[in-house]
Structure 1
């Protein structure tokens, strides 16, 4: 279904329900709701959210495993509900009905808008099935994963915890993780999903035996479908994140000059960064893994700025228009209380444009990428991707190692 048809259907639905069902419509009840987004192939991606009151106003929290993402931009009318997620440039527009909520999830992208049918039912805290059969296999542990897209294969590591029939975990890749996934084991079927206002995802697979997940399907957004499989492997590892990107031969440092959000030019040559350990974050407000990294770097900077550490965020946005890019980055800055400078590079999130903007870079492959610069101004290490809190011990180990690296550079 193309976008124009989706909006036509949504408009017709609005008119029909508003004219005939308003008096019978349910309220936006506080409590746990079960929502679904329907793909182009009519597969439902389920998720849960909580409606609650804060200072006399309705708010929503998307629930995925241990993650709780609070959204305070909720508007309710007698017959409709509007949930806006400005950080993700998305929104849910829904009508109240006797069954709950029905409407559309809308995501705004440069040059296009994507939509998916949305529905939700109140007082339902299950995600996939009300009563699941745990089956004979427990998937807790580490898995070697292959994703197949056409003739290309991508390697990942899956880590899951199962309690009863409930499963949480994530997939780790060289560019970052799939964040918080939550679901169930029902007999011989593995099912996990995630939605926090952006990037709806559903993973399914057949549990063929104790050590294999086969016939896997990944549904992402309205139209992406990818095959995958997994084999239990407690020794599965990703390539070293510090050995993916580098500098071109003959270079030992990077340089740039971009404007901050107030229009002031900022360069590594500025006095503020001299004789300091500097962390340069390549990021974008559109990037969920970048948000996880920003959530780590913001308090890290507040803790370390008096010790001789500076952080600079280089924003590569989807929009070339300066005002649109600035508005998107401001949302991220406010959301995570970022006190280090965020610079508008004027380049988009095309990886080729990143190397164009910083010619010394070689093999830049992912957002986020983080460069650590020592006190002399030389590049010390380059870290590709970011595996956030959803990866559990991997995240805590990274935080510990990162702080150890910075402390060692400060001591030199």
Structure 2
């Protein structure tokens, strides 16, 4: 999914480096306890323990999210909340009256100041472009609904599975599947696309209007949708808007369809005619090293190639699965190579970003610096492939080093049963190759 780089499934971009669907790129913990213990921020008590409602402002819209502030070993922590997801942030520094909250593995931060009691003001800043990307941010202490709703109002149900079509401002369309779970006025869910998913979304329903949002440090999304008839008990159709960060905008429509599905992710790309093996040699994230599938370490083993970027939330979802999976399965004769495509041409800086990801996520498999975060450039760096449509893309090599399957995108844990199907398909493929 994604943002000055655009990320849009099989189409030109959203004009902004956010990760959308999966993370396509083309250069074109528990909730904190309540309470009022203050954390010193320079000369200001900016962060106090409890739940806060943050708001990003862009395109005349508000993208809200909740976060918890707590103390961990005497140090402040911030935990982002997106539906069931909890993202703990522990790199927090101060300078004067300014507090910088680093956003996990992403090269981004919330930079804030106290703006009166129980108020913060500042910006979401991304540092991975040519110039810092800034979006206004404010927050209010005290748990609130993500979106204001009218009490005692008849609520339309959007619960269920939907066949969705997104349409960009350029007129191009792409398919998706919407899956929503609604309890009263509260709603959670996500959208699956041919290249991944929009991760954990949460929000509220007000009459016949639904609103969902998410913020994970790398992207901020807002989805609005409306059923045509406010008197319906169950929604019969949805039309709405999708806002991604500062500039990205698309419209979307949906109809209920419990059997809605996408094209097979294993059939979207392949090898060029006559090609059976990948031939590459990229520098390791460790100075002086290099990684190639022809290295002795991989001979006679099943090898999984992960095309990723440390800036890509869907890639992080896949890495959260692959890292512990590798530790449990490497003794079976399987290896993983992560090929990192970063938002900088500086190889040393790219290696540092990937090393930070490796350390924070306990990645035990090999990582290489493969190029810049651009799907066309990625395809050129792996000339045996027909194309690279999305980050992540996963390539399976058999014991002879031949490519047996290419899987586009990744359906993460926010997709529920689709995530379980993704994992089952991964394990089935590896098991089959190991038995050969």
TM-score (norm 2): 0.85
> Which segments of structure 1 move beyond 6 Å, counting only runs of 4 or more?
22-25
Pairs aligned (count): 390
**Alignment match, 1:202:** 222
Check if 1:87 corresponds to 2:105: yes
TM-score (norm 1): 0.90
SS at match of 2:48: coil
SS at match of 1:49: strand
- Distance, in Å, in 2 between the alignment partners of 1:410 and 1:27 is 54
Deviations 1:323-346 (Å, cap 9, x if unpaired)? 11011111211121001000111x
**Alignment match, 1:188:** 208
Please state how far the C-alpha of 1:85 moved relative to its aligned partner. Answer: 1.8
Structural mapping, 1:133-212, within 5 Å: 135-149=154-168, 150-209=170-229, 210-212=234-236
Deviations 1:117-143 (Å, cap 9, x if unpaired)? 111011224211266566342211111
Please state how far the C-alpha of 1:199 moved relative to its aligned partner. Answer: 0.7
**RMSD over equivalenced CA pairs, Å:** 2.0
Q: 2:71 aligns with which of 39, 53, 58?
A: 53
Deviations 1:47-101 (Å, cap 9, x if unpaired)? 0000011000110000000100000012356743221125221111111122510
**Alignment match, 1:128:** 147
SS at match of 2:173: strand
- Distance, in Å, in 2 between the alignment partners of 1:133 and 1:105 is 36
Please state how far the C-alpha of 1:273 moved relative to its aligned partner. Answer: 0.6
- Distance, in Å, in 1 between the alignment partners of 2:269 and 2:155 is 43
Gaps of 5+ in 2: 5-40
Per the alignment, do residues 189 and 270 of structure 1 end up closer, same or farther by CA in structure 2, a change over 3 Å counting?
same
Q: 1:339 aligns with which of 364, 375, 385?
A: 364
Structural mapping, 1:98-113, within 5 Å: 98-99=116-117, 100-113=119-132
**Alignment match, 1:364:** 388
**Worse overlay, 382-391 or 254-263:** 254-263
**Worse overlay, 401-410 or 381-390:** 401-410
Q: 1:295 aligns with which of 317, 320, 325?
A: 320
**Alignment match, 2:397:** 373
**Alignment match, 2:375:** 351
- Report which of the two has the higher share of helix: 1
Gaps of 5+ in 1: 4-21
Please state how far the C-alpha of 1:297 moved relative to its aligned partner. Answer: 0.6
Q: Which has the higher contact order (CA 8 A, sep 6+)?
A: 2
**Alignment match, 1:17:** none
- Distance, in Å, in 2 between the alignment partners of 1:398 and 1:151 is 31
CA contact (8 A) 1:132 1:184 kept: no
